[in-house]
Amino acid sequence: MDVRLQKLIENVADHEHAAEEILLLGARAVPALADFLAGPTQPSPQARLFAVCMLDAIGTPAALAALDRGVRAHSLRSLHPQYAQAEYVVKNEALRRLTRRSYLPLDELVSLGLLEERLPAAAAAAAERGMLSLIPELAGALGDGMLGSAAFEALVRFGASAVPALTIALAEPASATFGQATHRRLMTAIALATIGDPDAVPALQRLRHDPHPLLRSTAALGLTWLRGSAPLPAEARALVRGALCPTSQLRLECQAVVEKYPGVCLDAVLSELRREWITDLYGDRLPVGPAERAWLLRVLFLNADAPRRNMLRAAVYELPAIVTIRALRGVHDTTAVSNVIGLIRHPDPGVRATLADVLGGLHTPEALGALVGLALKDPRRRVRGAALESLRRLLRGGKEAVSIELPPLRRARGHLFTFLRLRKMLRAARPR
């Protein structure tokens, strides 16, 4: 190898200058770059990644052939873990660039990259090139920490062609212990649900009775997607449970479905509001986070009907104030006024101050009346100040001033200064 070129490649601090010189050489630099890529692996991938980028930039048949050899050389299984991790990055980048260039002898290289080296670029290339023979391998890789995400995306791109292999993978008996096998089954079910093919319905229906609650939630999610209508009552319970789970992808999708079909889910949301623990992927119990509990409460604030209103208010008083405050901050719909207005008697002043701020954005007579009550009668200055500020925002346009009626002065003597400020604001806002 040209010693000068080798030094340029290995000098990671000055690769910008090295790139200029190598690109000026063009095809004449390919032998040196190919030799470097075929040479010993390194504990850090920067220099070898640079060689891959330069070969791709030159782009001659000899350069692409060198990238091909780079993917095939140095089996990762035979390397020390530190060297294997660095070489994994190099091989994946080389294969990704060959795929982008539509390199002709690629199918065999993709199979090698997927079956032997577990490269994410191989999963993407398999889907792009329609290599149906690799679908079972991709389905088996869904629980793989390195390859799982790429395998999932590839299977979704395959669409209906991937359903038979995913159905077979899901039909395997559930493991007695939760963990990696459960993760693979979970991702398999989510892939089936995401593809949305009717042939997946029997597999998802069987999954509704799985011992793991996250898999039951995934089955309910997939069946609701495929049906295109509101979930059944049993599915609603599983969806609400999934909306609290620590697996972010499943949690967000379940929350979206519950928000789309709140009516059938309200009883399940009410029952889960007091839940303190949730089962994670590995069967461990984790506390339900304040964000998830606040989401439940916000769904109830926005959708609870009159028969459930008393149960909602009783449940709110049992929750930590921080949960109620977080839920209130997500309320921006006037339909929630009847459900949140009862919080003017909440014992926590932080909740009442947040309520005052929220009511300022809900332009209804009920909200205005509650704000006046908070401004005049609340025992805490912080709450009265928040209510006054909300009223000030409302009155800037002058549209609400006519509908606000103050009580007689004798009923406001406890907070006379607040009463006088509010009366002055109203007089200034009303048209003369």
Look at residue 178 and tell me if it is in a domain.
no
Residue 355 one-letter amino acid: L
pLDDT category of residue 54 using cuts at 50, 70 and 90 = very high
Checking if the pLDDT of 414 tops 60, the result is: no
The better pLDDT of the pair 310, 324 is held by: 324
* pLDDT value, residue 176: 44
* Whether residue 177 has pLDDT greater than 70: no
Does the pLDDT of residue 386 top 60, yes or no?
Answer: yes
pTM assigned to the model: 0.76
Q: Is the pLDDT of residue 314 over 90?
A: no
**Average of pLDDT values for 233-245?**
93
Q: How confident is the model at residue 70 (pLDDT cuts 50, 70, 90)?
A: very high
Helix pair angle (61-72, 46-58), 10° resolution: 150
Q: Cα(359)–Cα(364) distance, rounded to whole angstroms?
A: 9
pLDDT of residue 421: 66
Q: Which residue has the higher pLDDT, 180 or 188?
A: 188
* pLDDT tens string 282-291: 778 899 989 9
In a domain, 21, yes or no: yes
Q: What is the mean pLDDT of residues 150-156?
A: 94
- Total domains, the chain: 1
Q: Is residue 50 part of a domain?
A: yes
With 80 as the cut, is the pLDDT of residue 270 above it? Answer: yes
Q: pLDDT band at residue 373, thresholds of 50, 70 and 90?
A: confident
Percent of the chain with pLDDT over 70: 89
Task: Tell whether 25 is covered by a domain.
Answer: yes
Residue 310 is assigned to a structural domain of this protein:
no
Q: Is residue 46 part of a domain?
A: yes
Please, which pLDDT band fits residue 267 given cuts at 50, 70 and 90?
very high
Residue 300 is predicted with a pLDDT of: 93
Query: pLDDT band at residue 402, thresholds of 50, 70 and 90?
Result: very low
- Residue 401 counted as domain residue: no
- Parent domain of 72: 1-105
d(CA 91, CA 80): 16
Choose between 59 and 3: higher pLDDT: 59
Whole-number average pLDDT of the chain? 85
Mean pLDDT for 298-306 is 90
Top-confidence residue, 293 or 280? 293
Q: Is residue 174 part of a domain?
A: no
Reported confidence tier of residue 252, pLDDT bands at 50, 70, 90: very high
